[in-house]
Structure 1
């Protein structure tokens, strides 16, 4: 009877103990220069840079047991809320100006066997009117924030799928941070369709994340900060 009681207590202890959290994914961005994205990764790179808007290499460690797909987003939390200040002559956007987050890269349903996206996999240059959304061999492209930014611009308006890189204001006193987050998911598909955006993806993964990880790089076009962009 005493042995049975001990076994029962042990079983109860295992039941009430929280499950161990999965190890975070180790995410790495290739081609960085002291933590800074290379100019070729920028949508608004300096004029003497070619090619531009080349998606960087991203690698991550395999997810835990049960991982059936991954999702990836790249965000910039340093975009000025007052868009009228961007590149305004005679104006400097102060470091402490109010900011908002936008999505530069939205990719869902990445196959579980994929743990590397080579450089150029999601963009090899600037594409006016945007790259297609929808299925690719390495995941399902959503629409990034450039879709909204170019509304009303006849030369550029369109749905921007996949990766479109940094375009921080020339007059911004704050170097922008670019976070690439990767999520290991317990489902092979999130069921997203059409021009879903970053917030839609983030809402869809809410109950499916087994593990996650992130890497951060910086970028600036401000001549006073070039070469000194640090997190």
Structure 2
């Protein structure tokens, strides 16, 4: 089976910067805390080295391997102020307590406005979970929390000045 491309393969190239996490390791298995049935917690993320023209950030988590024909958006958070350079574990919960002022958490493909953990179909093989922080050249995207994740992703593709990713995998055997 040929694996689908990663989401940013379709967007114009932009510089990269550094993304780290105390919860995730690039190329490793997704911890149970980030699985729908295992904790459903958004991971801790920290970023640095982004361009000076950055005016805001967006954080997304996308599964390109979901058997939907269009992938699966697990987390969509945008209009994060430029002075914010990290999010604590659990910031993406539905109560918005860990989010910076002004940030907008849009609905994911579960239909909820929070981080929705990994839940690939049993026996479907390993799925990749692409956690991205996008540096944006505008303070506000001009979108709201009810905008579709795909439309937000497309807007980020045009507004990005840089991007950083961590890709983790998870398989429901």
TM-score, normalised by the number of residues in structure 1: 0.62
Out of 29, 35, 38, which is 1:36 matched to? 29
Distance 1:208 1:41 in 2: 28
The SS at the match of 1:200 is helix
Q: Which runs of 5+ in 1 are unaligned?
A: 1-20, 46-51, 82-98, 124-130, 148-159, 223-231
Out of 77, 80, 83, which is 2:64 matched to? 77
* 4+ residue segments displaced more than 4 Å: none
Given the superposition, is the C-alpha separation of residues 208 and 80 from structure 1 closer, same or farther in structure 2, using an over 3 Å criterion? closer
Distance 2:149 2:21 in 1: 20
Equivalence for 2:100:
137
Distance 2:75 2:65 in 1: 15
The SS at the match of 1:80 is coil
1:131-187, Cα deviation, whole Å (9 max, x unpaired):
368xx425211000001xxxxxxxxxxxx0021110111222x11110011111111
Spell out the pairing of 1:25-64 with structure 2 (5 A cutoff).
25-32=17-24, 35-45=28-38, 52-64=39-51
Given the superposition, is the C-alpha separation of residues 32 and 108 from structure 1 closer, same or farther in structure 2, using an over 3 Å criterion? closer
1:19-50, Cα deviation, whole Å (9 max, x unpaired):
xx9741222233247711111211123xxxxx
Contact 2:64 2:127 in 1 (8 A): yes
Equivalence for 1:24:
16
The SS at the match of 2:164 is strand
- Is residue 114 of structure 2 the alignment partner of residue 162 of structure 1? yes
Equivalence for 2:55:
68
Give the number of the structure with larger relative contact order, counting CA–CA contacts within 8 Å between residues 6 or more apart: 2
Contact 1:181 1:213 in 2 (8 A): yes
TM-score, normalised by the number of residues in structure 2: 0.81
Out of 71, 77, 80, which is 1:101 matched to? 71
Distance 1:76 1:61 in 2: 24
Q: How many residues align?
A: 157
